[in-house]
Amino acid sequence: MSEGEKTRLVAWYDEMQAVHGRLRQALELVRDASDDDGPSASGPVTDLLVYCRGFCTALTRHHTAEDAVLFPELERRHPDLADVLRRLRQDHGMIAYLVADLERALDRATDPVASRDAVARHLDGVGAIMESHFRYEERALGSVLAALDLRAPRREVLGPL
């Protein structure tokens, strides 16, 4: 096996970890915006809305891509992963529910202090479940993804990040 082939074989696990890392960073940006009391050119509530909507969209699109492309492919190649993939899909559903609640809190964001407090509570919930999900997914699928020879665009498999 050439070095190029070996690099391709480990790329899917590396790519998943990179996407998860970017989503973690995006969550921190949103948290920083929700904690920001200082003046901003657009205002702290506007910054929070922009960062949070972007984070919600990116997280949702990542999970949608996994559900549509990655998980069916893994299920086809590794039927023994059915229970793991079912649990990961359930996590995606729970996270989608929490993201929807977060977005409803954003829709009500008018008072800067009350909005930041409400959004911060929702972010804590999304962040806790997201982190638990990412760790489980990386642990449960790491070796399978490290050996996965899937010829598909990364964007279709893991989302746009």
pLDDT interval class at 4 (50, 70, 90): very low
Question: Which ranges of the chain would DSSP assign to H, the alpha helix?
Answer: 3-35, 44-65, 71-77, 82-107, 112-146, 154-158
- C-alpha distances (whole Å) from 6 to each of 78, 145, 150 are 20, 13, 13
Tokens of 106: 């954003």
Per-residue pLDDT, 42: 52
pLDDT (tens digit per residue) in 105-124: 888 876 666 667 888 899 99
Where is pLDDT greater, at 75 or 114? 75
> What pTM was estimated for this model as a whole?
0.86
pLDDT (tens digit per residue) in 85-101: 999 999 999 999 999 99
Per-residue pLDDT, 159: 93
Largest Cα separation within the chain, whole Å, is 60
Burial of 50 (0-12, 13-18, 19+ CB in 10 A): middle
Contact 40, 46 (CB under 8 A): yes
